[in-house]
Amino acid sequence: MAQHSLANARELDRKDALSSYKDEFYIPANTKYMDGNSLGLLSKRAERTLHELLDSWKTLGIDGWTEGEHPWFYLSEQVGEKMAPLVGGKKGEVIATGSTTTNLHQLVSTFYKPDGNKTKILADELNFPSDIYALKSQLQLKGYDSDTHLIRVKSRDGRYLKEDDIIDAMTDDVALIVLPAVLYRSGQVLDMEELTKAAQERNIPIGFDLCHSIGAVEHSLHDWGTDFAFWCTYKHLNGGPGSVGGLFVHEKHFGKAPGLAGWFGSQKESQFDMDHTMDPALDAGAYQIGTPHVLSLAPVIGSLDMFEEVGIAAIRAKSLELTDYMLELIEQELQGYGFTIGNPVDETRGGHLLLEHEEAARICKALKEDGIIPDFRAPNGIRLAPVALYNSFEDVWHTIQKLKTIMDEKRYEKFENKRGVVA
């Protein structure tokens, strides 16, 4: 393996076609930000569109619903159309609305139709807790015992899932499948196409949580025939804390009544008729429940402009290059310090890496003190996410050098090996 130096990192940055986008972002002073898989950074474009929408309220008042550059009444559809290429969806299949868990509740309420012995929901034991909470509560609302009706596919090693194991669990009593596209700890990318095909062959609706994949990896949800998907926009999409989520519903389901009805799911032309019989939109817009959160949607508009310019294929390519480079530096610099790589080393990894260490919590604290912003995940994980739009190869080089110094000098020992309130 070639030895990587600071000069080598700078040469890679010089050749990087996306390097100029780093100047688009506000990077906290004196830091190397490696936590974009948890919260993406603010860009100047997102800041601008936030101010534009704030100004439309200031200058137009209630007329902002239908006037201005971004009329609020159509904002969810507008942002959904901009997001659609990132998930491989067609116009009308994607809507910006709600939050990750609210959208999951909406989609499960719509697609979970227990019938006869088909009453169970299939998930996995490595899924993000909020998804599991939502699935359990949906089962309970239908009168089922979540301990017996929520099937969670076991991991063989505590890090990854085997697609064959998931497919084997697609038994005759399963009425719905909900899985992560990218596992939030290990960063493993599941084969969504293979899993969708297997579910279709068994006539089971399938949906995916794209929170850790949208904006980092490519998807072809429409072509795969995936029934539905849902996601947040504050990680790789850089929409800001609590920014509005998104969902995808395949056009084959257009006209299907939403499980949870709300007036913004109406057809636009008839919404203000105020009829007590709902006239749902004929596309993914039907799955909106309440009024758009305009000021939380605003930064997403500016952020998505960059994704339109660059394209998800180029972002994915650079992401793989950055994480490849980081893996090489870990092998070069961190042997013998007790680290284990907990993510796939091939292209089945997403946009972040996982380093496991028994002292992970306090190593993360030491990194932050040294200006490296990581992300701790219990019990022993350090997540590092070099993001294509605002991280450089030099950032990666400095991150691993700092980590090596921390281990050499045992700087982590002055901290308690316990996570903070927000890890």
Binding residues for pyridoxal 5'-phosphate are 100-101, 128-131, 209, 212, 234, 263, 291
CB 363, CB 418: distance < 8 Å: no
Using CA of residue 63, residue 68, residue 73, residue 76, what is the dihedral sign?
negative
The CA distance from 107 to 92, in Å, is 16
Return the residue matching tokens 């519903």: 249
Using CA of residue 382, residue 388, residue 389, residue 391, what is the dihedral sign?
positive
Cβ neighbours of residue 15 closer than 8 Å, sequence gap 6 or more: none
DSSP output for 324-391 = HHHHHHHHHH-TTSS-EE-S-SSTTB-S-EEEE-TTHHHHHHHHHHTTEE-EEETTTEEEEB--TTT-
Cβ neighbours of residue 191 closer than 8 Å, sequence gap 6 or more: 163, 348
| E strand or H helix that includes residue 90 | none
Sequence ranges of the binding site: 100-101, 128-131, 209, 212, 234, 263, 291
The CA distance from 214 to 228, in Å, is 14
User: Quick one: DSSP state of residue 94?
Assistant: E
The CA distance from 127 to 178, in Å, is 9
The CA distance from 86 to 329, in Å, is 30
The CA distance from 85 to 91, in Å, is 9
Cβ neighbours of residue 324 closer than 8 Å, sequence gap 6 or more: none
The CA distance from 274 to 264, in Å, is 11
Cβ neighbours of residue 323 closer than 8 Å, sequence gap 6 or more: 349, 351, 352, 353, 386
